Amino acid sequence: MLFGSLAQAGKATQEDGQNDKKVKSTSREYLEALLWALLLAVLIRGWGVQAFKIPSGSMIPTLLVGDHLLVSKSSYDFVILDNEFHIPFGTGEESFLKMPWPAVSIQLSDPERGDIIVFRFPEDRSTDFIKRIIALPGETVEVRGRDIFIDGRQIQDDWGQHAGGLPDPGCPKQYRFGPIKVPEGQYFVMGDNRDNSRDGRCWFGGQGGFVPRKDILGRAFIIYWSWENYGWGVRWDRIGKLIH
């Protein structure tokens, strides 16, 4: 009887050990799956692309209403760890959840003049805008009518279109902006449709403003789909067109 009891006890201990190993193995699998999911999320956030749709004509003729484009999120920075996450309610700063750790990113390159970028609108960071970079940090920018001056020298503005029309009463500096120095870490942007674009000349009650680098979401690089006439036709010739 004693031998049988010891044998049964040994068998029970062995089964308990096997069960513990199964529990540990399952827990390890869940942990590994979670870690891989987090790593994948980081890679997608830092290196992936994001889709956007053009809702207005501020970037005509480069981008048309109904264009669907892809934005490279790794054009300038690779985000390893973020401390700010957009949540789908509220406006401005209220729509972001702030984490108690510092953001960690690797700078890959600097935005350049002429890049078309998607960014968080400085007046309402819950809204994304798309414009073209005109002036870089530390440069002095001035707009005189249809002419743009950087550090006192006129630049060749091959991107801009002037279709005419009445001046925007909400943008008193539309044709007479600056000269003003772009703050460090920020960028001055304009829409290619110069006469119909609420851009850096017009923000903050018509006083003008700039885009902080941290609010640049990425660089637009290709049109993958395009509707015309509010979705009733396809612009086949624009599909696959690179954005410059």
Q: Are residues 22 and 66 both part of a single domain?
A: no
Give me the pLDDT at residue 221, please.
96
Q: Are residues 229 and 176 both part of a single domain?
A: yes
Q: Are residues 3 and 120 both part of a single domain?
A: no
Give me the pLDDT at residue 3, please.
42
Q: What is the pTM of this model?
A: 0.81
What are the pLDDT digits (tens) for 145-198? Answer: 999 999 999 999 999 999 877 778 889 999 999 999 999 999 999 999 999 999
Domain that holds residue 10: 1-47
Q: Please state the domain count of the chain.
A: 2
In a domain, residue 227? The reply is yes
Positions annotated as catalytic residues are 58, 131
Own/partner contacts of 175-178, CB < 8 Å, gap of 24 or more, are: 175/143, 175/144, 175/145, 175/146, 176/143, 176/144, 176/145, 177/141, 177/142, 177/143, 177/201, 177/208, 178/140, 178/141, 178/142, 178/143, 178/149, 178/208
Q: Are residues 22 and 67 both part of a single domain?
A: no
Q: Are residues 43 and 156 both part of a single domain?
A: no
